[in-house]
Amino acid sequence: GAVVSQHPSWVICKSGTSVKIECRSLDFQATTMFWYRQFPKQSLMLMATSNEGSKATYEQGVEKDKFLINHASLTLSTLTVTSAHPEDSSFYICSTRRYLNTEAFFGQGTRLTVV
Amino acid sequence: GIQVEQSPPDLILQEGANSTLRCNFSDSVNNLQWFHQNPWGQLINLFYIPSGTKQNGRLSATTVATERYSLLYISSSQTTDSGVYFCAVEGGGGSNYKLTFGKGTLLTVNP
């Protein structure tokens, strides 16, 4: 069964609105979760590392005020795309692992379309 | 950071054929995984294989960490094997446990 559950699977929103994506670890407590972005026909790029109870660590070039990450519990991390614009349209995927240095599991992904 | 190169970028096969996908990486790794991304975008874990050889049905993988490469073998391919195959690695030493993905191999298996 699924180890990581991500919702919604797809969302269409208007420019200027905000969208929240949830990522839940179903089988274990996850102190660390990872958020990736994937453009069509491209690879996955790490956006940020989400740490339970502390601030997220963002990769170079990722706007932390645009992509708000909250990891308030050991089973839930959220990514909020604020004031979304068409260029934010993409596929967003979360990931976690039971222990660091072990197998990573991925959510189903969220396809965001901003119109 | 660590560099990951996958080859070939595209591969077209007839059903029943065998194939080998390659992943080269530029530094020592703590973690290496192979994934299959299905048409809906879901990443399916195939192998967690930082070293050695593993087999699962028609799929097998080998990682030679000292030579910095991994191979994914698909035997008797089926149309359902179509999709993108990604190799992802976690670099050794100060990587902060981040996975770096290759650009993937797009596999098309024709009936």
Average pLDDT over residues A75-90: 96
- pLDDT for A79 beyond 80: yes
**Antiparallel, parallel or unpaired: β B105-110 and B83-91:** antiparallel
Per-residue pLDDT tens over the stretch A33-52 = 999 999 998 999 999 999 88
Per-residue pLDDT tens over the stretch A94-108 = 999 888 778 899 999
pLDDT, averaged per 10 consecutive residues of chain B (111 residues), comes to 95 97 94 93 94 97 97 97 96 73 97 95
- Nearest chain B CA: its distance from A54 CA (Å): 16
Please give the Cα distance from B62 to B43 (Å, whole number). 20
Please give the Cα distance from B78 to B38 (Å, whole number). 14
The whole-number pLDDT of residue B95 equals: 55
> Which of B2, B49, B97, B106 best probes binding to A when mutated, by most A CB atoms within 10 angstroms?
B97
Using CB atoms, pick whichever of B42, B98, B104 lies closest to residue A46: B98
- Nearest chain A CA: its distance from B89 CA (Å): 11
Query: Structural domain boundaries of chain B?
Result: 4-110
The whole-number pLDDT of residue B39 equals: 85
Please give the Cα distance from B77 to B57 (Å, whole number). 11
Is A11 in contact with A91 (CB distance < 8 Å)? no
Q: A32 pairs with which residues across the strands?
A: A51
Using a CB-CB cut-off of 8 Å, the residues of chain A touching B45 are: 103-106
Higher pLDDT, A115 or B96: A115
Torsion sign, CA atoms A74, A2, A38, B73: positive
The whole-number pLDDT of residue B93 equals: 64
> For residue A16, what pLDDT band results from cuts at 50, 70 and 90?
very high
Using CB atoms, pick whichever of A34, A43, A102 lies closest to residue B86: A43
Domain B4-110 top-level CATH class: mainly beta
